[in-house]
Amino acid sequence: MYSEWDEVVVLPPQFIHELRSEPALDFLEPATDDSHGYIPGFEPFNGNPAVSKVVTKYLTKALTKLTKPLSDEATLVIRQVLTDSADWHQIVPQKDIIRIVSRLSSRVFMGEELCRDEEWVRVSGDYTAVAFSVANELNQWPRRVRPVVHWFLPSCWRVRGILAECHKSLKPHLEQRNARKMAAVARGETKAVFDDSIEWFDQECKTKHDPATDQISLSLVAIHTTSDLLQQTMLDLASHPELFQPLREELVRVLSAEGLKKTALYNLKLMDSVIKESQRMKPVLLSTWRRLVKKDVELSNGFVLRRGQKVIATNTHMWDAEFYEDPLTYDGYRFLNMRSTDEEKHAHLVSTSAKHPAFGHGAHACPGRFFAANEVKIALAHLLLKYEWKLPEGSSFKPVPYGMSFLPDPTATLLIRRRKEELDLESLDC
């Protein structure tokens, strides 16, 4: 079929597992091409392989010690964005949740000082939001003219301008870091001065690299998808308020016994199920499995994928009764109940499968899904215990398909107010 990703071969879902580790299928090249990574201003979409290495080698291994900084930052940023008002007031999830997730992610990626630099938070968040929007605009043009037409589009000028602001904002911080590192070397110190993603990229990229572009690349894959999932989960809970009380009871029971630790997050099984169900009902893309065929591949049914073809598998089977019972009904307990069946290993939020490929599947499944899961759970713990929220009377929301993107309703609003929490998260052992 023809799509914004050019002509693609659409595979049935059973082949996702068959091809999960097929070396003849390339992941980075189509991702870069379809995201316009070759266009000036879109360099952060350029499929930098160091991003995956940084996530798997450093970020995922550091999850145990990241719970406290994430929770500390959640305390601050959620209060700033949502306020402590006990009166019902309106928020716009699309705008407000990305501010929260941007701060949480930046705390881990860039440290306490830089994550609270309002200029960096603003420009990096602006780039994430604007670049995806402009990428969708570029998709309206024939692929062959995109390398030229971008020079004449004001929206592309804006993307380049924001990226330049990102470089300008980060420059003084990098200069200060380098000065501190040089001073440490002069003193004969061998221990790393910093332990954040800027340092991780320095370790992985032995040749010259662009720290600002590195950070935006990391933000694109982290902030965009994580804020999308948190936003959709909040909207789904507002539509299913019967889930609020059992979720809060689970939080109080688990966190009182275990503290706010990585192991406790694992044991928030109802929350895990609710988030996974929101992701099933509204994945961030209609296809999260996309490859370019580098040499012919014969499938088990005899069909041959030809070199040069782009192949995808869609996520729409997650709404098919062949794969899920009552698939169009939101069931927050769906994956919790699945844990007591022979499909238990596929019931976890971070589990990938051909049946639920929202995080991808196989060799190129999202490497940051473990961090994203913890980040969403920590944010939800603060939100559920400290706030009540609901849909405005008479309102509803509906996800918006836009090409291959599947967006949360951009017009959706929530009414929210502060509540007295049953458990003081700030006092818990992390």
Residue 271 has a pLDDT of 98
Distance CA 216, CA 222 (A): 10
Residues of the chain with pLDDT under 70: 191-192
Q: Is residue 254 part of a domain?
A: yes
Mean pLDDT computed over every residue of the chain: 91
Q: Is residue 404 part of a domain?
A: yes
Q: Is residue 375 part of a domain?
A: yes
Residue 9 has a pLDDT of 92
CATH number at residue 297: 1.10.630.10
Q: Is residue 315 part of a domain?
A: yes
Tell me the three-class secondary structure of the chain, residue by residue. CEECCEECEECCCHHHHHCCCCCCEECHHHHHHHCCCCCCCCHHHCCCHHHHHHHHHHHHHHHHHHHHHHHHHHHHHHHHHHCCCCCCEEECHHHHHHHHHHHHHHHHHHHHHHHCCHHHHHHHHHHHHHHHHHHHHHCCCCHHHHHHHHHHCHHHHHHHHHHHHHHHHHHHHHHHHHHHHHHHHHCCCCCCCCCCHHHHHHHHCCCCCCHHHHHHHHHHHHHHHHHHHHHHHHHHHHHCHHHHHHHHHHHHHHHHHHCCCHHHHHCCHHHHHHHHHHHHHCCCECCCEEEEECCCEECCCCCEECCCCEEEECCHHHHCCCCCCCCCCCCCCHHHHHCCCCCHHHCCCCCCCCCCCECECCCCCCCCHHHHHHHHHHHHHHHHHHEEEECCCCCCCCCEEECCEEECCCCCCEEEEECCCCCCHHHCCC
Residue 97 has a pLDDT of 94
Residue 111 has a pLDDT of 85
Residue 46 has a pLDDT of 85
Beta bridge partners of 414: 91
Q: Is residue 210 part of a domain?
A: no
Residue 247 has a pLDDT of 98
Q: Is residue 238 part of a domain?
A: yes
Q: Is residue 151 part of a domain?
A: no
Residue 110 has a pLDDT of 87
Residue 87 has a pLDDT of 98
Number of domains in the chain: 1
Domain, as residue range, for 85:
2-41+48-107+221-423
Would you say 430 is a known binding-site residue?
no
Q: Is residue 172 part of a domain?
A: no
Residue 28 has a pLDDT of 86
Residue 209 has a pLDDT of 84
